[in-house]
Amino acid sequence: MCICEAVQPINNGVFLLILQHPQEKRENLGTAQIAHLQFANSMVKVGLSWPGLKRILGREVDPKRWGVLYLGPVKDGGAPRPEVAVVDKDGQPLRDSAGILEDLEGVIVLDGTWSQAKTLWWRNAWLLKCRRIVLNPQFRSLYGQARKEPRRDSVSTLEAGAFLLSRLEGDQTIMDTALKPFSLLLKKLRTRRPRPIPTSATPPAGEGAGPAVSDNEGDDEA
């Protein structure tokens, strides 16, 4: 289904890198490519593992200025959670989260089902050098019943990336504009297929994963 009419490229200041599991590339309702179309400064890489961020981007980078949406548990002791925060390796929120977020050059989103995203995390040890970012979205995914979600607060890759960038750059219109093609896609889908067959959705950051282990390279660019 064509959604070209709703595509409006955004000149985002913080780079968006999407690492997509190969199986997710075949998902009709995936949003990685929409995100790539909507964000001028973005890249989608398809594979299971890569040697490192430098190899992906083709230039020198400081991993401490890059954030990755974290898959591990957040241990905040039940304290109120901000919309975007940085946690340490144990899932504890960092006090200097605001300063770290302001200094980020780019962010990484793992695209796939919950199990696929965990696979990407485990197979890329270099992700451990990046800042771990957790989101606390106060909205429901536009997917609705079109794609089954593992958790109530699960959101699509596009929604996660757009939400994060809008908060990092302090501009809500980034998210509003970015989601227009996705909204149109779902609208056309509902018109053509009122009762879609549920599949699995990409979960948000915030639940169990472990240390990553780098493996074979996979660097097909979508």
pLDDT at residue 192 in the model: 75
**Strand locations in 37-97, DSSP E?**
42-46, 66-69, 84-87
Distance CA 207, CA 87 (A): 13
With respect to residue 1, please indicate whether it lies within any of the assigned structural domains: no
With respect to residue 16, please indicate whether it lies within any of the assigned structural domains: yes
- Domains of the chain: total: 1
Distance CA 148, CA 17 (A): 25
With respect to residue 215, please indicate whether it lies within any of the assigned structural domains: no
With respect to residue 220, please indicate whether it lies within any of the assigned structural domains: no
Closest CA to 182 of 206, 198, 161: 161
CB-hemisphere CA count at 13 Å for 117? 27
Segments of the chain scoring below 50 in pLDDT? 152, 196-197, 200, 205-222
With respect to residue 149, please indicate whether it lies within any of the assigned structural domains: yes
Output the CA–CA distances (angstroms, integers) from residue 30 to 88, 162, 194, in the order listed: 30, 15, 18
pLDDT at residue 217 in the model: 39
Which residue range forms the structural domain that includes residue 18? 12-74+82-192+200-207
Distance CA 47, CA 219 (A): 6
With respect to residue 120, please indicate whether it lies within any of the assigned structural domains: yes
Output the CA–CA distances (angstroms, integers) from residue 150 to 29, 49, 200, in the order listed: 16, 24, 7
pLDDT at residue 219 in the model: 43
Chain segment 158-198, per-residue pLDDT in tens: 999 999 999 999 999 999 999 999 989 888 877 876 554 45
With respect to residue 5, please indicate whether it lies within any of the assigned structural domains: no
With respect to residue 4, please indicate whether it lies within any of the assigned structural domains: no
pLDDT at residue 94 in the model: 94
